[in-house]
A and B are shown apart, each in its own frame.
Chain A
């Protein structure tokens, strides 16, 4: 990473690659220590901010053979973290097999949960498995208020999320001294920037404890990415131009250093690699070509270029998507 004098503030008409160049920055990999695994687009929710357009009717799911190939790559590549996402990974047949194999392959396994699928689909079995394997849970909760949560994620999701979090707390998740990490992710419920992460974590901690006795470890706030269903909503609601302009205006060159794509590679449900889950959503392949996990001996090397696109502005806005 090389930095020069600050360039003029980028405008919405300036491409992301051009903006990087204006600041004398190049987006290249550091050590790739995280393997993000998208197990497919099947989901019990149809969230309005979903960049992947996941939902109940989607058929794309990772099969068991690919799960084994991915787990083999995780071990072969010496990855430190496996980050399992979707869709709703809980709904993928054989997800328990994938989690078990990953837990044996890498030091840290994370499972992203929408907090409703884990209660819809044999929650006791999967929750207990996660507890036994010490899997880190990363759960979506946009707000501590039902109207905003349900507006983004569907009617009744807040109540279901609360009961799921309470149940996870009874398993020891989020409780001090258990080693069972329960983290929350909050995306804004609309076309606006996320609030300050530290202050939001304090408010969530206070509100969730006061209202429902819920505890958690950390909270992360991320901007919504203008892809998929969220982009469709932005366009339909007349918010697209102002939202993209807002992300572009908020470009923070210092956020580039910590971008997650510098340490992460994403594999889709068919085993093909991408720089990140957003490029996966857009169909942008790692290195611009099909690269299946079975053909990869190691993670992408430090210094390798990372593809850029206009949606990258969502990751560099404000404090960034790190």
Chain B
């Protein structure tokens, strides 16, 4: 193994059920239900998943949902905007915590 991440591992996801098959089954059933067409379309959910994949920086999820978005008919401009949404929320989350810094500084400062 030359890397912590191996693209081939994505196809082996189900092996996580070894030693805990009931828990894996529950997870995969839940996962499938979440990603199925509901109030949101499968295409919308795949774009959300792509954005979250970037937010959590999961290369397996990025690989899977980049392909899924294409197969759901999303174009690269939409997918790029989804990544920007992730970036904006992550950046905003950092910035808004700056108020905590200000609160601390204000409390300590004359």
Contacts and interface: CB of A to CB of B under 8 A. Distances in A.
B14 interface: no
A193 B71 contact: yes
Interface stretch (A31-39, A100-108, A142-150): A142-150
B10 to A, nearest CB: 11
B interface: dominant SS: helix
Contacts, number: 30
Interface centre among A143, A144, A195, A200 (most CB of B within 10 A): A195
Interface residues of A, number: 15
B1 interface: no
B43 A148 contact: no
A188 interface: yes
Interface stretch (B26-34, B72-80, B91-99): B72-80
Interface string A114-145: 00000000000000000000000000000111
Contact of B70 (A144, A147, A190, A199): A190
Q: How large is the interface on B (under 10, 10 to 19, 20 to 34, 35 or more residues)?
A: 10 to 19
A143 B75 contact: yes
Interface of A: 143-145, 147-148, 188, 190, 192-196, 199-200, 203
Which 5 pairs from chain A and chain B are nearest by CB?
A: A195-B73, A145-B75, A192-B70, A193-B71, A200-B73
22 contacts: A143-B75, A145-B75, A147-B75, A147-B76, A147-B77, A148-B76, A188-B70, A188-B71, A190-B70, A192-B67, A192-B70, A192-B71, A193-B71, A194-B71, A195-B70, A195-B72, A195-B73, A196-B72, A196-B73, A199-B43, A200-B73, A203-B73
